[in-house]
Structure formats: C-alpha cells, structure tokens
Amino acid sequence: MSLNGIRIFVSQKNNSVLVQLHDLKFTPFISEAEITSAIEQLAQKINEEYRDEKPVFLGILNGAFLFAAELIKRFEGDCEVNFVKLSSYEGTGTTGNVDTLLGLTQPLEGRTVIVIEDIVDTGNTLESIDRILKAEKVKKSKIVTLFYKPEAYKKPLPIDYVGMEIPNDFIVGYGLDYDGLGRNLRQVYKLKESNMTNLVLFGPPGAGKGTQATILKEKYQLKHISTGDVFRYNIKNATELGTLAKSYMDKGQLVPDEVTIDMLRAEVEKDIEGNGFIFDGFPRTVAQAEALAELLQENDTEVSAMVALEVDDEVLVQRLLERGKTSGRPDDANEEVIRKRIRVYYEETAILKQFYLKQDKYYGVDGEGTITEITQRLSEVIDRIKK
Ligand code: 5GP
Ligand code: MG
C-alpha cells in the first residue's frame, strides 16, 4: 500500500502494520484514540483555567499543527491564534545564538500566552521560546505539550500541561516527522526495534564452520551470507558490483571494502524482514566491522554476536591432514601450509575479537567434539542472545 510516498506494509512476523519513512521502519505505538483522549483531557483543563482570559495560542510549527488544531477547536472562550516557527542563527561577536519567532504578527505584551508544542525532548526549543516571550513582556506564559520525554528533559522550566509522557524513543506521526515525512500519519509510531539474530561466525580452517553454519541456518531460519558465495554470485551474473569487483581482481588488486559492503548491503536488504543473518568470511578488518555495523544500523538492526569456534591447533592439523588424504585439496596435504593458514587466521581475528569483546559481543565456543555437541554449544549462545 502506498500513501504519499510512504510505504505501509504488514509484517509477516508480528502481524502489525509497519510504516517505512525513507530508510527507517516504524511500528504502531500510540493509537489515534489514545491521542484524542489525551487531548480532550488537556482541553478540559485549559478551558477551566483560561476560558475568560482571552489567551493567545502560540502554535509551534511545524510539528504542532495537528495537535494545535485539535486542542484549539475544543476551547470554548475567546482566543487568538498565532503559528510561529523558532529560528536560530549565529550572532556576531559576543552575542552568541540569536533566536527569533518567525511569523509572530501581534504584540504579546500583557497577554496570557499558551505555547502549544508537539513534543518536548531536551527542552532547548522551549527555553528559547520562553526567553523570547519574557522579552515580549507577556503577562504570563503557559506551556502545553502533547508528548513529553521526562528522561530527556534537562531544563528547570516547568511544563504546565502534558498530554502523555513517553519513553526516550524517536516517534513519528500526528504532526511529527522523520526528515520531512510522516506528519500526516493519524497515529504515532516508533522506531522498530530489531528482533533479528545477526551472527558473525568465525573459526580456524578445519573447525567445521561451514557444517555448523548450514545447521544453524536451518535451525534458526537465518540467511547464510558467505562473502565468497556473494562474490561468485555477483561475478557470475555480471552485476554492476560483480563487474566492478572483477576489474580489481583481474589486475591482481584487493577489492575495496566499499564494493564488498555494497554487495553485502544488497544481500541484507533482500531479507531484512527475516530472522537474521550468519555472516561468514566477513568482516576481516576493523574497518569492515565498522562498515558492517553501519550497514546494519541503517536497517535498524545490529550484530548480535561474534561466535568463534575454538579448536586446538594440533587437532586442526590432524583433521586437515585427514581431510587432505581424501579430498585431494593441495592446501590440506602439507602440514606447513596448514600451520601457516591457522596462524594467519589468528593474526586476522585477534583484532576483531578485541573489537567485539569491547562491545560484549564475543563468544568463544569449544569446537572439539561431535557435530551435534558443537551445534548444542552454539545453540546455547544463540538462545541466550535472543532473549
Ligand atoms: P527539544 O528542543 O525539546 O530537544 O526538541 C524539540 C523538537 O525536537 C520537537 O519540536 C521536534 O521537532 C523534535 N523532536 C524531539 N523528539 C522527537 C521525536 O521523538 N520525534 C520527532 N519526529 N521529533 C522529535
Ligand atoms: Mg516542534
């Protein structure tokens, strides 16, 4: 369904209506009925206290336009209405920031002014408005806001009338926008919280990473993104990115991180409504780990854990030599080559282990034992982080 360029769709998972604005998804948070009821209560108080004072309602644009309309139409006394926008510009020399109210078309001296705000967050906006109103010599000024975030508010200025207190989340709808969109939504939505499980899977050569990735992918319905497969797919199908990547490879150069991350982005965005991903073969560097974090954040999710299979070097060497006897893979036949590959693995992953340890996201899992035993250990980690 499409509404003025806003995408609205029903999520398969929780059956709720999601709204996408630009790059972000939002889920229903406060219903139209709840908002209306909050406004009715506010209107009742404002009527009781200001019916006979002929107040000036000062609606703060843009966000407060809907709320102001609903509140003011319920006011039963005489009143005047002025919509204004706060404008801040840098002053010269020592004056600092200069704030003005654009659109203020009437003198406010000696008047009762009721400031109508959509939402009070840090209170910066409100403080500037209050300063201007004092300079205008109003008789008194009162603040009425539809939404208020107590956890974010840092100012001493009292907020006289609050429709609803909300947690410190980013909301849209009912006048409030995200980068210009969403003001026309009839109810309030909040940023969708991710319930994805996104694993970065690591393991030295011979640890059984491929086997476990295949099992976990089935068990948790995750999408397995192996950088090697993604590269082969893009090159084989001569996609724009594949062709670009190949041009570097043909010259014997490393494919730049941006190209790789763009391929991964395409894979992630294909399944962003799914349960999550297993990243395999990526990231290899801190720069790539940061790029992955950014890519996932753009899609309102994150890496849940780096899971590394831990296997003793001697066990790996024996396993790979065994495998070399039957697989005929030349890099599995030579003990020295095997030891070098294991060393390279530890050199590469040490820094990533630190990267994820710092975020409390590193999980080392004993990779010795039967396939079932190892799956069991991995599942314990996944079940823990899913909670
Ligand atoms: P404050 O100056 O109190 O930090 O923020 C006030 C302004 O920030 C609001 O008028 C609104 O434009 C914007 N704002 C604060 N919190 C939110 C929010 O959760 N959603 C949206 N859309 N805008 C917000
Ligand atoms: Mg505002």
Q: Six-digit token pair at 235?
A: 């090159």
Strands 161-165, 171-172: parallel, antiparallel or unpaired by DSSP? unpaired
3 state SS of 139: coil
Q: Report the run of H or E that residue 84 belongs to, with start and end.
A: strand 80-90
3 state SS of 87: strand
Q: Specify the pLDDT at position 158.
A: 95
Q: Six-digit token pair at 309?
A: 């299979």
Strands 197-202, 161-165: parallel, antiparallel or unpaired by DSSP? unpaired
Please pick, among 111, 209, 265, 319, the residue that the annotation labels catalytic. Answer: 209
* Helix orientation angle between 227-236 and 240-250, rounded to the nearest 10 degrees: 100
Q: Specify the pLDDT at position 193.
A: 72
- 119 CA from centroid of ligand 1 (Å): 6
Residue nearest to ligand 1 atom 11, measured at CA: 119
3 state SS of 232: helix
Question: DSSP states of 286-330 as a string?
Answer: HHHHHHHHHHHHHTT----EEEEEE--HHHHHHHHHHHHHHH--G
The DSSP code for 130 is H
Please pick, among 284, 361, 377, 386, the residue that the annotation labels catalytic. Answer: 284
Q: Specify the pLDDT at position 93.
A: 66
Find the ligand nearest to 171 CA. Answer: 1
209 is catalytic: yes
Q: CA separation (Å) from 200 to 86, 124, 278?
A: 46, 41, 6
Name the residue type at position 159: I
- 27 CA from centroid of ligand 1 (Å): 18
Residue nearest to ligand 1 atom 8, measured at CA: 121
Please pick, among 329, 340, 343, 384, the residue that the annotation labels catalytic. Answer: 329
Cβ of 176 closer than 6 Å to ligand 1, yes or no, is yes
From first CA to last CA, the distance across the chain in angstroms is 33
Enumerate residues 6+ apart whose C-beta is below 8 A from 303.
198, 199, 200, 279, 292, 293, 296, 356, 361
Cβ of 59 closer than 6 Å to ligand 1, yes or no, is no
Find the ligand nearest to 116 CA. Answer: 2
Q: What is the pLDDT of residues 116-167, one digit of tens each?
A: 999 999 999 999 999 999 999 999 999 999 999 999 999 999 999 999 999 9
Please pick, among 323, 339, 353, 386, the residue that the annotation labels catalytic. Answer: 323
Cβ of 172 closer than 6 Å to ligand 1, yes or no, is yes
Q: Report the run of H or E that residue 346 belongs to, with start and end.
A: helix 335-358
Find the ligand nearest to 85 CA. Answer: 2
Cβ of 120 closer than 6 Å to ligand 1, yes or no, is yes
- 303 CA from centroid of ligand 1 (Å): 28
Ranges of residues in the chain with a pLDDT under 50 are: 1-5, 9-16
Pocket test for ligand 1, best of 21, 84, 99, 119 (most atoms within 8 A of CB): 119
Q: Specify the pLDDT at position 24.
A: 81
Cβ of 122 closer than 6 Å to ligand 1, yes or no, is yes
Question: DSSP states of 167-205 as a string?
Answer: -S--EEBTTB-BTTB-TT-SSEEEEPPP--EEEEEE--T
Q: Specify the pLDDT at position 299.
A: 82
111 is catalytic: no
Q: Specify the pLDDT at position 324.
A: 83
Q: Specify the pLDDT at position 8.
A: 52
Q: What is the pTM of this model?
A: 0.59
Q: Specify the pLDDT at position 14.
A: 38
Residues 54 and 78: beta-carbon distance below 8 Å: yes
232 is catalytic: no
Cβ of 171 closer than 6 Å to ligand 1, yes or no, is yes
